[in-house]
Structure 1
Amino acid sequence: MDSINVLKYMEKRQLGYTGIKSKLNDMFIGQMGYIPQTYDGASDYPLDDTGNTYIYVGNTFACKFSRNKNNSHLVGISTDHGEIILENTIGHYNEKNNQFQRYYVHDDSIFNFAWAEPQMKIITACRDGSSKLCSFRSSGVLDEERKFIHYSAVKSVMFCPGSSDVFCCGCQDGSIKIWDARLYNDKMVLECDHNNISNTHYSISGTKLSISKSEKCFGVSSVIFKTDQTVISCSSMDHDIKLWDLRKSYRQVQGNTEHQPLMKYFNEMKISPLNNGYIDIITNPQSTLMYASCKNNVIYCYSLDSTDTKPICQYSGHLNETGFSKISISHDGRYLFSSCKENNGVIWLTDFPYNENPMFKIDKTDETFPKLELRASDWCADPTSTKLVTSSNSMPMVWSIHGPEQKISEKYSICPTSFYQSKKS
């Protein structure tokens, strides 16, 4: 058990304000819901460029709020048609159609994208093996600044903390590339292999069945910055999460193709890597905890402030439908969201003492609504706004706090589970 969280919990309990603040925040979460937006009273989808017909863009791969402090209400969505859709979630426009802007960035699926924190820039991760750095102008135009070519499909991207030029890319060929947009010689800052795993088989008793080793490289499913000098990566075919030091050299020396990371995080599940790989990893806003979504429908939590490589807790109670489901955490690091099958989603409380059961869930009031997986989600970074956005069919579903009058129009609502009721009692 994490000793740091134990001390924080005891300190807050001694001061006497932990219970009041947490119950107030939980009450706000229980008042959140989703009201579909109608356009000319006919559809939940915006009009096309001609303003005549209704459009369906495609599936969603990523959904993220802007990290710019002055534009934290803007949310972006990447689709399988190579588009970036931006929405203003404030919702006070007279013309609702003007809240959406569509930008054609790639000719192939955009698996992921990331916002820069200082400036209004985004970097994309495309299936065609390229990443594009785009700048969002105040006039509403998304300008392409540079294009970065990779050897395979790009699955994950992230900007270096505090930078609008340095970013990392995780590729399908198992490589992690660090780019600096200020360099114009088409060379990356650093390139390192993510994984070259020896394919060793074990029986139930643990004896080795084959001593022959065949090296195979697996794709990177997610890569994030821990600090400006370290990155963390995971693969859907690897049971280890690896921490890489960017100050080290990862050149191949004397035929040794397996690079040694600075640290490996793993769980104690003794199952095949095919069912024990990781789909997505995120950190809390304080960068002290890491949450890893595993293919076995368990989210593991690791402490980044200690040398312990085993999870300090885990969260379960959900069932992912595809390998593209992403997790998200609120701006205060207290609420963890993950999607489930058939347009369902659950929220866990990350407070100490830990509870692996979901405390909130999505309640469907309209059974005729399409049943799709909410594979992408994100929380608004504005501390004054409790807002969650999810997406499955290329259009955002904005969840916000509603009053009694607005509750009548809700198609979905977030309600406490039986585990939360038992916790209160």
Structure 2
Amino acid sequence: MNDVQSIIDRQLGIYSRFNYDNILKRLSVQSEESFYGLQTASSPANFDQDPPIFACRFSEAPGYEHILALANEDGRVAIQDTRTQKTASTLEGFQCHNNAVFDLAWMPQNMKFVTVSGDHTACLWDVAEAAPRRELVFSSHTRSVKTAAFRPTDPRVFATGARDGRVLVWDARCAAAALVLRPDLCLAGCHAVPPRASPRARRPRADPRALSITGLAFRDDLALVSCGECDGNIKVWDMRKNYGVYKREPLPRHSIPYCGSSARNGYTNLIIDDARVRLYASCMDDVIYCFNVSTFGSLPEQRYVGHENSTFYIKTGLSPDGAYLVSGSSDKNAYVWNVKYSQPVVRLSGHRAEVTCAAWCQRGDTKIVTCSDDARHKIWRVGPEAPAGELAGRAELTPRADGGPQWGRDRTPHSLKRARRAEPATPATPATPATPASPASPAARAAPAAKRAGPRRCLAELLGARDADAGAAKRQRLDAPAAAERAGRRRARAPSPAAPPAKRRRSQPERAADAWPPGGPAGPAGGGAALSPRSPAARSPEGEPCGAVKIIAFTTPTKDLPNFVLNGEAPHLRLMSPVRKKPETTDWLTLMVRERRGKASDATDKPSVAAPSSPKENMPVRRNSVTDKMTKSSTKSRTLLKYFSVARKEK
């Protein structure tokens, strides 16, 4: 960002925080501040003597932010005072564990820190006195402990994560009342993947590598954020819930799935800014994701690229104001990003092996510490613009645009953009003899138009130009006999050879016919779709776009189809048309019944369709009993007295 613009923004009240990108390019390492192992600077360099450093953290106690703690693979921890170059030359180391120390975390507001080791334990150390003192040992994990994090408002509570897939929450205040120290909360199988079936075993087995916990961070007193090695999920756990009473896999309060496109979806480190809003997760796909943990959105707000992350020992650090991010890399460099942009600001070069971890001092002058697999750690300070003497490391500007390209901008290829670019003027060439083609030919008319159009920058224009060139060549072959005939007529009407030939004015149909390409309405094909006036082929003989399009011929495949609206009833109008009365049809059995009941006359009065013939139509009816005989019709009126007998009572 421009320094003048920054000052103007601050005067107008729209500037939120300082921007010191120009200061970071002056970071450098003096040869006296490049330390090998956890020994003093006067020790000889021997790469077989000391193992690599796995963890480095600055203190969080008020007034002691310059104190640095480093831990290596042999379980040794050293305390270093980084206020000045003279005080930093002395390292005070002591043995903490009998195995590698993978991580350490400082207790807020105290000169104490917790170390986690490959010996399945975590230890609380007090370095406020003259000699370091071990206070407590926490041993409930069954495999190597990988990470630890303290609760921000309660410094006596912290959480540890191990390769056994469990997250344990400890309270150091319970050590005085308990004989055996046990965790207050246990989360088992937090980042376990679904079990895979074995071809020889009856029961499915789980992948033990998919259970490792690699990062922990407290969002607040009630929310713990964790990440795994292989599942690619970031989960938020509620500290008020007792997950130990459930036998199944615990369900998190929130879950942020992996949002990348790589198979390397494991996370190596988690850090949260002081506002407890932004979560930075370093992923194995060479991207650092920034999530908003106030809303727990699944999409990241920013992605930081430019480094390489090939191992689970690479960790990140955040500046005191939360404006810059520093991380190690597998390409022997460390990178610093402005959190507003996805590309790094500077590259810190000087190590000879993979840079594993980096830390930013939280108070005082800008100081950055980087550790590498070459068993060296370097202290970066802001130096002069033109440093004198030999340097053990310097900051290099990364190739990027001013202001930094942001993730998600328009990345359309430059060749597909519609903008035209002006080309430099070409030197004038000597005049060449005229070609035998006619001046009025389409090829001659298309040449000035192509020069005025300039260079074509998109695929559509290139395709249009190819069609226009093909159409011009075809029209040239078709118009050659007509052009020769017109030229002969002009020569015949000319009074003398010296007089210039009179220019005949072309009619409107001829000009309209030249404006259409082959295959159009006026072309040799005799039919086709009309061209838009903006098309490169829709040009007038003078080279200007046609204002109006005149259709000369029109053909359509539906021209000879019947018109049901005018010629008859349309099939789709049958539901709306009146229903015709169906002719009455009577079967042979009904006619026979009507004849025998004396109703044959009714059937003859009304026209009806003849009933279909039946094979039993002429056969006599057989009757097996007297009851089957049909009663004869009588004219006598039938009443209910038929069923009663009236008898007179004699007196």
How far apart are the structure 2 equivalents of 1:77 and 1:38? 15
Distance 2:204 2:322 in 1: 42
Question: Is residue 2:410 matched to residue 1:417?
Answer: no
Among 117, 123, 137, the alignment partner of 2:128 is 137
Measured in 2, the distance between the counterparts of 1:315 and 1:213 equals 39
Q: 1:123, CA displacement in angstroms?
A: 0.4
Tell me how large the CA RMSD over aligned residues is: 2.8
Q: Which residue is 2:378 aligned to?
A: 397
Please give the alpha-carbon distance, in whole angstroms, between the structure 2 residues aligned to 1:404 and 1:311: 36
Structure 1 residue corresponding to 2:338, chosen from 341, 346, 349: 349
CA contact (8 A) 1:195 1:258 kept: no
Quote the offset at 1:423 in angstroms.
4.1
| Residues 1:292 and 2:281 are matched in the alignment | yes
**Secondary structure at 2:400 match in 1:** helix
Cα distance in structure 1, aligned partners of 2:404 and 2:43 = 52
> Where do 5+ consecutive residues of structure 2 fail to align?
1-8, 198-202, 406-651
125, 146, 153: which one pairs with 1:162?
153
Q: Which deviates more from structure 2 when the two are superposed, residues 55-64 or residues 122-131?
A: 55-64
For structure 1, which segment, 337-346 or 101-110, has the greater mean C-alpha deviation from structure 2 after superposition? 337-346
SS at structure 2 position matched to 1:276: coil
Cα 1:302–1:411 shift into 2, 3 Å: same
Q: Is the 1:360–1:420 contact (alpha carbons within 8 Å) kept by the matching residues of 2?
A: no
Instruction: Please tell me the residue identity of whatever aligns with 1:27.
Output: N
Q: Give the superposition deviation at 1:30.
A: 1.4
User: Offset of 1:214 from its aligned partner?
Assistant: 5.2
Determine the structure 2 residue equivalent to 1:7: none
Matched, 1:332 2:317: no
The one of 126, 147, 162 equivalent to 2:137 is: 147
Tell me the CA shift for residue 337 of structure 1: 1.3
Deviation, structure 1 residue 265: 1.2
Q: Confirm or deny: 8 A CA contact 2:24 2:382 kept in the other structure.
A: yes
SS at 1:398 equivalent: strand
Deviation at 1:119, TM superposition (A): 1.1
2:173 to 182, 199, 212: 182
Name which of 65, 70, 73 aligns with 2:63.
70
Q: Could you tell which deviates more after superposition, 107-116 or 300-309?
A: 300-309
> Is the 8 Å Cα contact of residues 266 and 311 (structure 1) preserved in structure 2?
no
Identity of aligned residues (%): 23
Tell me which amino acid in the other structure corresponds to 1:387: K
Partner of 1:358: 344
Q: Secondary structure at the match of 1:37?
A: helix
| Equivalent residue number for residue 313 of structure 1 | 302
SS at match of 2:152: coil
Q: Size of the alignment, in residue pairs?
A: 381
| Residues 1:38 and 1:157: Cα distance change in structure 2 (over 3 Å) | closer
> What corresponds to 1:197 in structure 2?
193
- In the TM superposition, residue 422 of structure 1 has moved relative to its aligned partner by 6.2
Q: In structure 2, what residue type is equivalent to 1:385?
A: D
Unaligned runs of 5+ residues in structure 1 are 1-10, 202-211, 365-369
TM-score, normalization: structure 1?
A: 0.82
Indicate if the aligned counterparts of 1:329 and 1:335 stay in contact, CA closer than 8 A. yes
* Distance change (3 Å), C-alpha of 1:47 and 1:199: closer
Q: What is the aligned partner in structure 2 of residue 26 from structure 1?
A: 21
State the shift of 1:420 in Å: 5.0
Q: In the alignment, is the contact (CA less than 8 A) between 1:267 and 1:311 conserved in 2? A: no
* Matched position secondary structure for 1:182: helix
Give the 5 Å matches for 1:211-222: 215-216=206-207, 218-222=211-215
CA contact (8 A) 1:359 1:420 kept: no
Q: Which has the higher strand share?
A: 1
Q: Is the 8 A contact 1:61 1:112 kept in 2?
A: yes
AA paired with 1:224?
A
Between the aligned partners of 2:159 and 2:69, the Cα distance in structure 1 is 19
Greater mean deviation of Cα atoms: 386-395 or 176-185: 386-395
Q: TM-score, normalised by structure 2?
A: 0.55
* 1:6 matched residue in structure 2: none
Cα-to-partner distance string for 1:87-109 (whole Å, 9 max, x where unaligned) = 11112547x65x21101000100
What's 1:36 paired with?
A: 31
Letter of the 1:260 partner, please give it: L
> Secondary structure, in 3 states, of the residue corresponding to 1:318?
coil
> How do 1:187-266 residues align onto structure 2 when only pairs under 5 Å count?
187-193=182-188, 194-199=190-195, 215-216=206-207, 218-253=211-246, 255=247, 257-266=248-257
Partners in 1 of 2:138 and 2:391 — Cα distance? Answer: 43
Q: Which residue is equivalent to 1:118?
A: 109
Secondary structure of the 2:21 match is: helix
| Cα-to-partner distance string for 1:154-176 (whole Å, 9 max, x where unaligned) | 10011111333211000111100
2:259 is aligned, of 261, 268, 284, to 268
Amino acid of the structure 1 residue aligned with 2:69: G
Opposite residue 294 of structure 2, the aligned amino acid is: D
Q: How far 1:319 sits from its partner (Å)? A: 1.1
CA deviations over 1:265-322 (Å, ceiling 9, x no partner): 12333544xx111111111222210011111111111001114222122111111242
Secondary structure at 2:213 match in 1: coil
Is the 8 Å Cα contact of residues 199 and 214 (structure 1) preserved in structure 2? yes
Report if the CA contact (8 A) 2:55-2:102 is conserved: yes
Task: Indicate if the aligned counterparts of 1:38 and 1:45 stay in contact, CA closer than 8 A.
Answer: no
Per chain length, whose mean CA-contact separation is higher, i.e. which structure has more relative contact order (CA < 8 Å, sep 6+)?
1
What residue identity is the alignment partner of 1:86? I
Q: Letter of the aligned partner of 1:218 in structure 2? A: L
Over alpha carbons, which structure has the higher Rg? Answer: 2
Q: Using the alignment, how far apart are the partners of 1:160 and 1:422 within structure 2?
A: 36
Check 1:175–1:350 CA distance in 2 against 1; reply closer, same or farther (3 A cut): same
Distance, in Å, in 2 between the alignment partners of 1:285 and 1:89 is: 23
Aligned equivalents of 2:271 and 2:120: distance in 1?
23
SS of residue matched to 1:34: strand
Q: Which position in structure 1 is the counterpart of 2:355?
A: 374
